[in-house]
Amino acid sequence: MDNVECIVVGAGAVGLACAAAIARSGREVLVLESEDAIGTHTSSRNSEVIHAGIYYRPGSLKAELCRRGKEQLYAYARDRGIAFRNTGKLIVACARDQVARLEEIRDNATASGVGDLKFLTQKEAKNIEAAISCHAALLSPSTGIVDSHALMLALEGDLEAHGGMVVLQTPVSACSVEDEGIIVETGGSDAMHVRTRYLVNCAGLRAPAVARGIRGLDQAFVPRAYYAIGHYYRLSGRSPCEHLIYPVPEPGGLGIHLTVDLGGQAKFGPDVRWIDGVDYSFDDSRFETFLAAIRTYLPDIDADRIAPDYTGIRPKIVGPGEAAADFRIDGPKDHGTPGVVNLFGIESPGLTASLAIGDYVADLLS
């Protein structure tokens, strides 16, 4: 049986960032990925926004790793020639009673170490984005966008430069924690058994399923998986805004926002719908609700310019109506099983936080 010092399950942005950080720390790393390419799930089905770290509970992993990850991501993108733009973002109060929410959001951001938000009056907001309608807004200057695929390719390159590699079409089917290491079983055409000292589970939507397949891990430490799909619509022609435009957040997500891509095109989304399994089908039946949400801040938008684009699914670990969960990065100190690290609930801002999550996980192994 082959021996590898560390196996990372899943080659999304977070798995690749963890693997690259672990390889940089001098360990031997293999990434096992079930699909035939890297980043085909959540890491390529998101808004590609570099989040500032505004909304999360101060002191939580989401708040800390987002704030740190944002700085690291801007620096990494600059250094590696990954396309990005520091667009800035407006959070808009579309009803008078939402203005107080903006103040709460700003206070929360300040408590999380993000002190650069600027309160804008209606006139100031209109001065920088003429197309929008609002009572007031918050400007987040440090928000931006990034090419998530270029990020993942750079991380894979980093991993390889430090002696690691990604093995595609290799789904991890079961693992067993034994005295002499963790035995990882894979399916696919070349089914194999590999022994490892460290197993880092970055399987995203499937992370709870992979953890349930680890014999020797106390199953009390494996959360139930919940899925919340979000739909995106694209806008033909040029974007009416340069900044990203967000309404005040809604339960389960950040509200149907406008993001701009690196080519200057706008898209709207994602909404939040709870589903039972991983199915990316686009359900266009709620277009009118979607349009109404967009028109709260872009009243003159032409419905004929909006068309279905794609969906993404949030890897949730709490269900509808429950308070938002923090990222869960469970190491041996949490669950008592040596060598195993499970990452659960790595929804937004996981892309922004990926480099900081990588460092955090590499530290857990040292």
Ligand X SMILES: Cc1cc2nc3c(=O)[nH]c(=O)nc-3n(C[C@H](O)[C@H](O)[C@H](O)COP(=O)(O)OP(=O)(O)OC[C@H]3O[C@@H](n4cnc5c(N)ncnc54)[C@H](O)[C@@H]3O)c2cc1C
Tell me which of 34, 72, 140, 239 binds ligand X, using CB under 6 A.
34
Listed ranges 81-89, 239-247, 284-292, 348-356: which one lies at the site for ligand X (CB under 6 A): 348-356
Position 316, amino acid: K
Dihedrals phi, psi of 23, to nearest 5 degrees = -65, -40
CB of 21 to ligand X, least distance (A): 13
* Residue 171 interacts with ligand X (CB under 6 A): yes or no: yes
Nearest to 200 by CA among 9, 346, 29: 9
* Residue 345 interacts with ligand X (CB under 6 A): yes or no: no
* Residue 312 interacts with ligand X (CB under 6 A): yes or no: yes
* Residue 42 interacts with ligand X (CB under 6 A): yes or no: yes
CB of 216 to ligand X, least distance (A): 17
Tell me which of 88, 208, 255, 349 binds ligand X, using CB under 6 A.
349
Q: Specify the DSSP class assigned to residue 130.
A: T
Residue nearest to ligand X (CB): 350
* Residue 230 interacts with ligand X (CB under 6 A): yes or no: yes
* Residue 342 interacts with ligand X (CB under 6 A): yes or no: no
Task: Pick between residue 136 and residue 232 the one whose CB is nearest to ligand X.
Answer: 232
* Residue 151 interacts with ligand X (CB under 6 A): yes or no: no
List beta partners, residue 329.
343
* Residue 144 interacts with ligand X (CB under 6 A): yes or no: no
Tell me which of 6, 23, 30, 49 binds ligand X, using CB under 6 A.
49
Tell me which of 154, 313, 356, 364 binds ligand X, using CB under 6 A.
313
Q: Which H helix or E strand runs over 204? A: none
Residues binding ligand X: number (CB under 6 A)? 41
* Residue 14 interacts with ligand X (CB under 6 A): yes or no: yes
* Residue 88 interacts with ligand X (CB under 6 A): yes or no: no
Listed ranges 77-85, 196-204, 216-224, 290-298: which one lies at the site for ligand X (CB under 6 A): 196-204
The answer to whether the beta carbons of residues 227 and 205 sit under 8 Å apart is yes
Long-range contacts of 215-219 (CB under 8 A, 24+ apart): 215/174, 215/175, 215/176, 215/177, 216/176, 216/177, 216/178, 216/337, 217/177, 217/335, 217/337, 217/340, 217/342, 218/335, 218/336, 218/337
Dihedrals phi, psi of 164, to nearest 5 degrees = -90, 175
Residues 238-277 that bind ligand X (CB under 6 A): 270
CB of 255 to ligand X, least distance (A): 12
* Residue 51 interacts with ligand X (CB under 6 A): yes or no: yes
Helix (H, G, I), strand (E, B) or coil at 365: coil
* Residue 329 interacts with ligand X (CB under 6 A): yes or no: no
Residue whose pair of structure tokens reads 């990850």 in the numeric block:
69
Tell me which of 4, 6, 7, 11 binds ligand X, using CB under 6 A.
11
* Residue 172 interacts with ligand X (CB under 6 A): yes or no: yes
Q: Which two tokens stand for residue 166?
A: 């990604």
Q: Which residues contact 328 (CB under 8 A, 6 or more apart)?
A: 61, 223, 317, 342, 343, 344, 345
CB of 293 to ligand X, least distance (A): 15
Q: What is the DSSP string of 138-202?
A: EEETT-EEE-HHHHHHHHHHHHHHTT-EEE-S--EEEEEEETTEEEEEE-STT--EEEEEEEEE-
* Residue 223 interacts with ligand X (CB under 6 A): yes or no: no
Q: Which two tokens stand for residue 263?
A: 């080519």
Tell me which of 22, 32, 109, 138 binds ligand X, using CB under 6 A.
32
The answer to whether the beta carbons of residues 346 and 225 sit under 8 Å apart is no
The answer to whether the beta carbons of residues 77 and 145 sit under 8 Å apart is no
Applying CB under 6 A, the residues found at the interface with ligand X are: 9-15, 32-35, 39-43, 46-49, 51, 171-172, 202-206, 210, 230, 270, 312-314, 346-352
